[in-house]
Amino acid sequence: MCLASQIHLKKYDVATASVISTQPTPDEALKRLVDGNEAFVADEPLPSDLSRERRLTLAEGQQPFATLVGCSDSRVGPEQLFGVGLGELFIVQAAGNNVDTAGMGSIEYSVAVLKVPLIVVLGHDKCGAVAAAADVVTKDTRFPGSIARMIEPIVPAAQRSVDEDKLVDTAVEKNVRRMVERLQKFSELMLIEPQGRGELKVVGAVYELATGRVRWL
């Protein structure tokens, strides 16, 4: 089903008060991710449903239980590190877990239309985009093309971490916290209101490449 028809369908459903949510609560959704990551860390990843039956079911519509805002880094595969399968995570990815207009629209769609109960902003240690932002601050490094504009939103987190021993790791965490705060307090009403009603939670986390562990903030 295309995006436009889903939005249309939801409008119709709301008008007829016939929406029956089968989504978990925010805390239940978070527990699934916590449990999935613990299994991944223990080298016993949860089996994810990649069957033909699952594909056929999903072809009729999606109902992901969480929206993941993460980095493009190839070492941070959200579905793998949380042990989830097809149709379970709605993923917005860009280097440095940046969210541009398209990314924000994607997040809003996941909440307003798909009724996702949980948004996770996931940074990771040794993030190249954050390291680049740190270089801008400490060495006045210039980057070519759109890379410079991509890094710009991360620069404030790097600036506020410049006196720390572990500049990049500190900036990674601050960058996640800034995005969480933006989604919690400075976003559209379609994100603010469900949080006020307890139907949506926004949490931050940092993934550790070597251990596989997701550290929840």
- Give min distance, CB of 74 to Zn ion, in A: 10
DSSP string for 109-169: HHHHTT---EEEEEEETT-HHHHHHHHHHHH-----HHHHHHHGGGHHHHHTTTTSSSHHH
69 forms part of the interface with Zn ion (CB under 5 A): no
User: Per CB under 5 A, which of residues 124..143 are in contact with Zn ion?
Assistant: 127
> Hey, what amino acid is at 186?
F
Compute φ and ψ for 197, nearest 5 degrees: -85, 0
Q: Which two tokens stand for residue 51?
A: 């069957």
| Residues in CB range of 79: below 8 A, 6 or more apart | 48, 85, 88, 89
Which C-beta is closer to Zn ion: that of 121 or that of 127?
127
Q: Among 33, 70, 73, 206, indicate the residue that binds Zn ion (CB under 5 A).
A: 73
> b/e per residue, 64-77, with b = 16+ CB within 10 A?
bbbbbbbbebeebe
Q: Which two tokens stand for residue 109?
A: 């769609």
Stretch that binds Zn ion, among 46-54, 63-71, 148-156, 204-212 (CB under 5 A): 63-71
158 forms part of the interface with Zn ion (CB under 5 A): no
Site for Zn ion (CB under 5 A): how many residues?
3
- Give min distance, CB of 193 to Zn ion, in A: 31
Stretch that binds Zn ion, among 28-36, 45-53, 103-111, 120-128 (CB under 5 A): 120-128
Which C-beta is closer to Zn ion: that of 73 or that of 88?
73
Q: Among 66, 71, 119, 203, indicate the residue that binds Zn ion (CB under 5 A).
A: 71
Contact residues toward Zn ion (CB under 5 A) are 71, 73, 127
